[in-house]
Structure 1
Amino acid sequence: MRASSRLTPYLRPLATAAVAGALLLGPTPAATATTAPVEPCTADTGAYQWELEKYLHLPTDGRQSPADCAAIRSFQQREGVQPADGTANLATYRTSLVIEERRHPNKDGRCPVRERRIVCVDLDRQLLWVQRDGVPIYQAVPVRSGRWGQNTRNGWHSITRRIIDETSDLYDDAPMPYAQYFSGGQAFHGVHGDLFNGGGSAGCINMRLGDAELLWNTTSLGDTVVVWGRKPGTTRHHAQSR
């Protein structure tokens, strides 16, 4: 305190100049927080409107409203669904199914419980997860399996080859990143672009690129793979009705 009192005479001229400058410049405007305006959500009614309305606890009338659109877009943004435009499309609906199944993917007991790692592939629900002792160590993710006439093979398999930068010999050198073969030429691998675009693969288990990379880092040669079920839309009855 004493040091401050001794310096006061020397600081007084500076303080006086500062006050004078402030008076000349006028009052400084207070800083105000600005928030970017939210763009209106304008997507039309989607193919899975009713299902997503029900999942998001919205009025279930099957018709898009501005509130529906905003809620669906918010869900898409949280879960990384692209484009996040509020459309009730297949990718968004499939994402909601995966979230519902993620806690207990093996609730029906279709994937065997063993002490070792097992890659579980449910073609009925188009889901894949990895478990050990019945406990998921790789959460359930959406997949795209073989289309009609090129179905993914059911049964017990094992990972026999792993090629991180694989390309297809049969389909014009199509990229197959993080490929892990489990049944002849059928493999898990990532795809670039929309996983939900198209009716199915040529027998492989297609995965989103990030999911395929994480699976690559979770599994090893020799790991057991169990596949069961049937991809929706690939039953004999469905084929005959086309």
Structure 2
Amino acid sequence: MGDVRGRGVAALGVTGLVAPLTLALTAAAPAQAASCTTQAGPYQKQVERFLGRPVDGKQSAADCTAIQAFQNRHGITPAIGYAGPVTWGVVDLMNRQKAAGNNPGKDGACPVNKGRIACVNLTLQLSWVQDGKKLVYGPVPVRTGRKGYTTRTGLKKIYWRDIDHVSNLYDVPMPYSQFFDGGQAFHSVNLSMWNPPGSHGCVNMTTKDAKAYWSLLRSGDDVFVYGRKPGT
């Protein structure tokens, strides 16, 4: 694996024809069926409010069913309907993404003097494509590197693209891969974008968004990654 890593790093500086070392997350195993808990979690009221349930801070059978369905939808385990910190983390992130609205670059962090550029805000787990100050596509939710495999920050360039890529580390498909930093790439996954804890460094996207990025971006286009993913 060390030799493969060396060739991948060399590819970044020398040629885009050598397949890089790829970092991807294997698909999560399907959640096991679990019974609903009768216990209210520390974030019961917040999760009730988000899910449109009566906000009383008390766990009911209907509350638990709604929370459990949310957990199953996004791969949160254990899916027992408990409004704990992991579930609240997903809800809080969704709320903050919604608050960003259609002006994701309002913080001024992503460069506007580079022409077409793909921006990745790790803090909000959002990505978009802009051209100068003009928003071209997005913002869209993304799933970036987990603790220990963080998506590296800074200004980068797309240097290699492979529409039907397969990870040579994990033997999993990485459709619409566009590599911008060693083995880190934009690519689609068949997972919720809010599935914790995150990828092995890549910027995961839905198939729809990965296809759009594939159409919009080209080798040599800039990518700017900034912020810090919650929990990393």
Question: Structure 1 residues 64 and 94 mapped into 2: Cα distance closer, same or farther (>3 Å)?
Answer: farther
The structure-2 alpha-carbon separation of the partners of 1:64 and 1:152, relative to structure 1 and needing over 3 Å to count, comes to same
- Look up the equivalent residue of 1:129 and give its one-letter code: W
Q: Give the Cα–Cα distance (whole angstroms) in 1 for the partners of residues 157 and 197 of structure 2.
A: 26
Alignment correspondent of 2:12:
none
Aligned residue runs from structure 1 range 50-199, under 5 A: 50-51=45-46, 60-63=55-58, 89=87, 94-114=93-113, 116-171=115-170, 173-199=171-197
Structure 2 Cα separation of the partners of residues 136 and 63 of structure 1: 43
Tell me, in whole angstroms, the C-alpha distance in 2 between the residues paired with 1:91 and 1:232.
10
1:54 Cα offset (Å):
5.1
Identity of aligned residues (%): 47
Task: Name which structure has the greater RCO, CA cutoff 8 Å, separation 6+.
Answer: 2
Deviation at 1:179?
0.5
User: Which stretches in structure 2 are left out of the alignment for 5+ residues?
Assistant: 1-35, 76-80
* Counterparts in 2 of 1:53 and 1:158: CA distance versus 1, 3 Å: same
Q: CA offset at residue 56 of structure 1?
A: 7.6
SS in 2 for 1:182: strand
Gap runs ≥5 in structure 1:
1-41, 235-242
CA 1:65–1:98 in structure 2 vs 1: closer, same or farther (change >3 Å)? farther
Partner of 2:225: 227
TM-score by length of 2: 0.64
Kept after mapping to 2: 8 A contact 1:48/1:93:
no
Taking a change above 3 Å as real, the CA distance of residues 108 and 192 of structure 1, as seen in their structure-2 partners, is same
Q: What TM-score results when the alignment is normalised by the length of structure 1?
A: 0.62
**Secondary structure, counterpart of 1:107 in structure 2:** helix
> Larger Rg: 1 or 2?
1
Shift of 1:187: 0.4
Counterpart AA for 1:201: S
User: Alignment partner of 2:105: what SS?
Assistant: coil
1:67 and 1:201, CA in 2 relative to 1: closer, same or farther beyond 3 A? closer
Q: In the aligned structure 2, how far is the partner of 1:215 from the partner of 1:192?
A: 17
Report what 2:199 is aligned to: 201
Q: For the aligned residues, what is the CA RMSD?
A: 3.4
**CA-to-partner distance for each residue in 1:176-215, whole Å, 9 max, x for gaps?**
0111000111101111133333312111111122221222
Q: CA deviation at 1:134?
A: 1.7
Q: How does 1:13-52 map to 2 (within 5 A)?
A: 49-51=44-46
Deviations 1:18-65 (A, max 9, x none): xxxxxxxxxxxxxxxxxxxxxxxx998788654455568876544467
